[in-house]
Amino acid sequence: MKFHREGKLTITLCLLFVVFVNAGMWLINPSMGIANIIALVLTLGLLYIILQFFRNPPRNTVPNTEHIIAPADGKVVVIEEVEEPEYFKGKRIQVSIFMSPFNVHVNRYPIAGTVSYAKYHPGLYLVAWHPKSSTDNERTTTVVKDAQGREVLFRQIAGALAKRIVQYSKVGDTAVQGGEMGFIKFGSRVDVYLPLGTKINVKLEEVVRGGETPIAQFQ
3-24: pLDDT as tens digits: 888 888 888 999 999 999 999 8
Is residue 151 within 8 A of residue 143, CB to CB? The reply is yes
Looking at the domain assignment, is residue 207 inside a domain? Answer: yes
Looking at the domain assignment, is residue 77 inside a domain? Answer: yes
Domain that holds residue 75: 67-217
Active-site choice (133, 134, 169, 188): 188
Q: Angle at which helices 8-28 and 34-53 pack, to 10 degrees?
A: 180
Q: Is 188 assigned a catalytic role?
A: yes
Check whether 149 has a pLDDT greater than 80.
yes
Same domain for 139 and 72, yes or no, is yes
Same domain for 30 and 86, yes or no, is no
Same domain for 178 and 78, yes or no, is yes
Same domain for 41 and 73, yes or no, is no
Q: What is the pLDDT of residues 99-136, one digit of tens each?
A: 888 899 899 999 999 999 999 998 766 665 555 556 67
Same domain for 116 and 209, yes or no, is yes
Which residues are CB-neighbours of 4 under 8 A, at least 6 positions away?
54, 55, 56, 105, 106, 183
Looking at the domain assignment, is residue 61 inside a domain? Answer: no
**Domain count within the chain:** 2
pTM (2 decimals)? 0.84
Same domain for 191 and 92, yes or no, is yes
